[in-house]
């Protein structure tokens, strides 16, 4: 609730799971401690003698039990009518990098210089994969953005500094048919400073396609291009220059 929560400078891009995830973990641990404390009171037992499996609490002798739902009801309706909350704040002194290995297969029309992506494989080390489905689609989206940066998206200015590629008629972004096949695999590791071993993932997957595609073009043609995007004009000019010697 932004009306009552403290100010947050923001946790986004590659810091979402790594930073916010740790804050959530700390908040959950604080809340768990408060739940155990209140459950012990309701079960009339010492806190050290209470066990909790995420669904219910029970005393050491196994004779007294209390579900989380019942605890919540008792806390909301009992004396004091209090709700238990946990709070966590986290800022990391370290920033462990993720790693991505990118492999690009492209087809090049030597008559026009057009580079067509055929297949792209990304193998990702982002520590422990917290949510495999979200990590996969984030990788796929980043790869598509990287392919756009590598082949299509160009920022051009006039001599007077006016932006020429100011709409989607001039500034080309790839659609699904422009990116070819995209495959993603994960090579999990464990990052001790992250929540449950997780690291970031965001920027690395965007940065990988451009060098992979540029190197694929080099492998196919012997032409090394170092300026993005690799438009048909640039590729064709480089091929003609190479042909002329």
Output the pLDDT for position 234.
96
Please list the alpha-helical segments (H only) found in the chain: 21-42, 68-77, 132-151, 202-207, 209-221, 232-244
The answer to whether 1-93 and 99-244 have equal CATH topology is yes
User: For residues 215 and 109, what is the distance between their CA atoms, to the nearest angstrom?
Assistant: 16
CATH: 3.30.365.10, 3.90.1720.10, 3.10.105.10, 3.30.565.10. Which one for 99-244?
Answer: 3.30.365.10
pLDDT tens per residue, range 57-105: 998 887 889 999 999 988 888 666 788 889 998 888 888 999 999 999 9
Mean pLDDT, rounded, for 93-118: 95
End-to-end Cα spacing for the chain? 66
For residue 108 the two structure tokens come to 């090049």
> What percent of the chain is predicted at pLDDT more than 90?
72
Q: Decide: 226 and 245 in contact? Cβ < 8 Å.
A: no
CATH: 3.30.365.10, 3.20.20.70, 3.20.20.30, 3.30.70.20. Which one for 1-93?
Answer: 3.30.365.10
pLDDT tens per residue, range 173-182: 999 999 999 9
User: For residues 152 and 142, what is the distance between their CA atoms, to the nearest angstrom?
Assistant: 15
Q: Decide: 172 and 152 in contact? Cβ < 8 Å.
A: yes
For residue 233 the two structure tokens come to 């004009």
Crossing angle, helix 68-77 and helix 21-42, to 10 degrees? 80
pLDDT tens per residue, range 145-174: 999 999 999 999 999 999 999 999 999 999
Q: Is the pTM of this model over 0.75?
A: yes
Output the pLDDT for position 197.
95
Domains of the chain, residue spans: 1-93, 99-244
């Amino acid at each position: 609730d932004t009306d009552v929560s403290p100010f947050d400078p923001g946790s986004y891009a590659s810091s979402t799971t790594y930073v916010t995830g740790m804050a959530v973990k700390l908040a959950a641990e604080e809340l768990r401690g408060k739940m155990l404390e209140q459950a012990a009171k309701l079960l009339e037992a010492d806190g050290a003698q209470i066990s909790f499996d995420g669904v219910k609490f029970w005393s050491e002798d196994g004779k007294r039990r209390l579900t989380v739902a019942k605890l919540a009801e008792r806390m909301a309706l009992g004396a004091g009518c209090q709700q238990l909350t946990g709070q966590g704040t986290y800022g990391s002194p370290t920033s462990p990098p993720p790693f991505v290995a990118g492999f690009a297969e492209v087809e090049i029309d030597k008559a026009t210089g057009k580079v067509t992506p055929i297949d792209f494989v990304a193998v990702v080390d982002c520590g422990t994969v917290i949510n495999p489905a979200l990590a996969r689609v984030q990788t796929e989206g980043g790869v598509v953005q990287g392919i756009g940066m590598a082949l299509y998206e160009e920022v051009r200015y006039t001599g007077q500094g006016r932006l020429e590629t100011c709409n989607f008629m001039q500034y080309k972004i790839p659609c699904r048919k422009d990116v070819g096949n995209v495959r993603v695999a994960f090579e999990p590791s464990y990052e001790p400073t992250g929540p449950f071993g997780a690291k970031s993932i965001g920027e690395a997957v965007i940065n990988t396609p451009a060098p992979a595609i540029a190197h694929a073009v080099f492998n196919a043609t012997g032409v090394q291009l170092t300026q993005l995007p690799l438009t048909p004009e640039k590729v064709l000019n480089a091929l003609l220059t190479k042909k002329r010697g």
